């Protein structure tokens, strides 16, 4: 068919006609065409340079040998090297010495606070004061003692965690497992209330004292002061993990407790665990001062 040209614009028409109206056959603007072909050229170039398509036994690796996995490993290693340099003090100095160094806190506290909020705050709270089921970290009452190396060890292996060297502490379910009859449990509850001088039934507490000695003092020690060896909390301070009311103590005796602190070695580096240990010590001191 012979091309037909519009008389006014001189442009070629499509050759179709609708009731006397004809459509101009206007080509795509040249700028778009250049863009289109340039895009195709870039795609082809990237195909050659970068890993692109699987083959039967391997894949096309591209000519510049790029691998996103190698690249990220390098970037992470570089970041680790920078941190190692900035934080050498934590890996090269004894923990006890670090804990006594007054200059570190001002210098590193803000950095470590980020680490704390990222990993610890969901349970222990942004203010480190804990919440039900999750202990307060700044009240200077410790389950496994407040010695820096003991805190660090807890962070590494956890408590009742899946780590092979985990610390282990379990409050048995005296009620549910029928280890003690209900009336003896309520006597023990009265005794525990009496330790702190809360409102209690004195006669029941007297009976509970003896029962406590037989059943509980192995971990919680005589008088319920707790023990760092067993990780059993003191019942003679005003700090409670699971609540200190009559009902809450009875519930603890009924169903038992075995709080889990996850193990962080493997997830966090040794240096990071040490930094968090110091952070707890610093925050505890500030809390004590205020």
Partner 1 sequence: MEHAKLERNGIAFALAILGVASLGGLFEIAPLFTIENTVEEVEGMRPYTPLELAGRDIYVREGCYACHSQMIRTLRSDVDRYGHFSLAAESMYDHPHQWGSKRTGPDLARVGNKYSDTWHVAHLEAPREVVEGSVMPGYPFLSETRLNTKHLSGSLAALAAAGVPYTDEQIEWAARDAERQADPEAEYEFELYDLYGENLAVRDFDGNPNEVTEMDAIVAYLQMLGTLVDFDSIDQEEIAR
Of residues 175-214, those binding partner 1 (CB under 8 A): 176
Q: How far apart are CA 215 and CA 179, in angstroms?
A: 10
33 binds partner 1 (CB under 8 A): no
Q: How far is the CB of 240 from partner 1 (least distance, A)?
A: 15
Residue from 271, 279, 268 nearest 104 by CA: 279
53 binds partner 1 (CB under 8 A): yes
Strands (E) across the chain are located at 13-18, 21-24
CB nearer partner 1, residue 77 or residue 206: 77
Among 34-42, 49-57, 88-96, 216-224, the segment contacting partner 1 (CB under 8 A): 49-57
φ, ψ of residue 197 to 5 degrees: the values are 75, 25
φ, ψ of residue 64 to 5 degrees: the values are -95, 0
In the three-class reduction of DSSP (H, G, I as helix; E, B as strand; rest coil), residue 131 is classed as: strand
Residues 77-106 vs partner 1: string with x where CB under 8 A?
Answer: --x---------------------------
**Which one of residues 7, 58, 183, 199 is an interface residue with partner 1 (CB under 8 A)?**
58
Q: How far apart are CA 35 and CA 40, in angstroms?
A: 9
With contact defined as beta carbons under 8 Å apart, do 167 and 157 qualify? yes
CB nearer partner 1, residue 61 or residue 107: 61
With contact defined as beta carbons under 8 Å apart, do 6 and 21 qualify? no
Tokens found for residue 204: 């029941």
**Which one of residues 2, 7, 18, 57 is an interface residue with partner 1 (CB under 8 A)?**
57
**Which one of residues 10, 20, 29, 54 is an interface residue with partner 1 (CB under 8 A)?**
54
CB nearer partner 1, residue 25 or residue 105: 25
Q: How far apart are CA 196 and CA 99, in angstroms?
A: 32
CB nearer partner 1, residue 33 or residue 196: 33
Q: How far is the CB of 69 from partner 1 (least distance, A)?
A: 4
Tokens found for residue 53: 């398509």
**Which one of residues 135, 175, 226, 259 is an interface residue with partner 1 (CB under 8 A)?**
259
In the three-class reduction of DSSP (H, G, I as helix; E, B as strand; rest coil), residue 268 is classed as: strand
Among 30-38, 47-55, 193-201, 215-223, the segment contacting partner 1 (CB under 8 A): 47-55
With contact defined as beta carbons under 8 Å apart, do 171 and 257 qualify? yes
**Which one of residues 46, 75, 84, 206 is an interface residue with partner 1 (CB under 8 A)?**
75
Q: How far is the CB of 111 from partner 1 (least distance, A)?
A: 13
Residue 251: left (phi > 0), alpha (psi -120 to 50), or beta?
alpha
**Which one of residues 11, 73, 91, 97 is an interface residue with partner 1 (CB under 8 A)?**
73
- Stated length of the chain: 290
71 binds partner 1 (CB under 8 A): yes
Residues making contact with partner 1 (CB under 8 A): 12, 25, 27, 53-59, 67-73, 75-76, 79, 118-119, 122-123, 126, 131, 133-134, 161-162, 176, 259-263, 267
């Amino acid at each position: 068919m012979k091309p037909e040209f519009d008389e006014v614009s001189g442009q070629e028409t499509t050759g179709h006609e609708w009731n006397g109206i004809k459509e101009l056959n206007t080509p795509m603007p040249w700028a778009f065409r250049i863009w289109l072909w340039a895009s195709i050229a870039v795609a082809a170039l990237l195909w050659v340079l970068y890993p692109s398509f699987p083959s039967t036994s391997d894949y096309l690796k591209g000519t510049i040998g790029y691998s996103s996995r190698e690249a990220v490993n390098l970037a992470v290693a570089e970041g680790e090297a920078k941190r190692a340099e900035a934080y050498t003090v934590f890996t090269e100095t004894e923990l006890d010495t670090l804990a006594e160094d007054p200059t570190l806190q001002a210098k590193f506290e803000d950095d470590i606070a980020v680490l704390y909020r990222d990993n610890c705050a969901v349970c222990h709270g942004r203010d480190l004061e804990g919440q039900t089921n999750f202990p307060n970290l700044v009240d200077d009452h410790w389950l496994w003692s407040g010695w820096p190396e003991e805190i660090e060890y807890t962070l590494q292996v956890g408590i009742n965690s899946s780590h092979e060297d985990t610390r282990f502490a379990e409050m048995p379910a005296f009620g549910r497992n029928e280890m003690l009859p209900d009336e003896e449990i309520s006597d023990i509850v009265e005794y525990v209330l009496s330790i702190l001088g809360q409102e209690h039934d004195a006669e029941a507490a007297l009976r509970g004292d003896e029962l406590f000695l037989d059943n509980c003092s192995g971990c919680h020690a005589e008088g319920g002061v707790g023990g760092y060896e067993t990780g059993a909390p003191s019942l003679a301070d005003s700090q409670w993990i699971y609540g200190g009311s009559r009902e809450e103590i009875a519930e603890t005796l009924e169903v038992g407790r075995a709080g889990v602190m996850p193990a962080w070695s493997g997830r966090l580096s040794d240096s990071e665990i040490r930094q968090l240990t110091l952070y707890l010590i610093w925050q505890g001191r500030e809390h004590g001062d205020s």
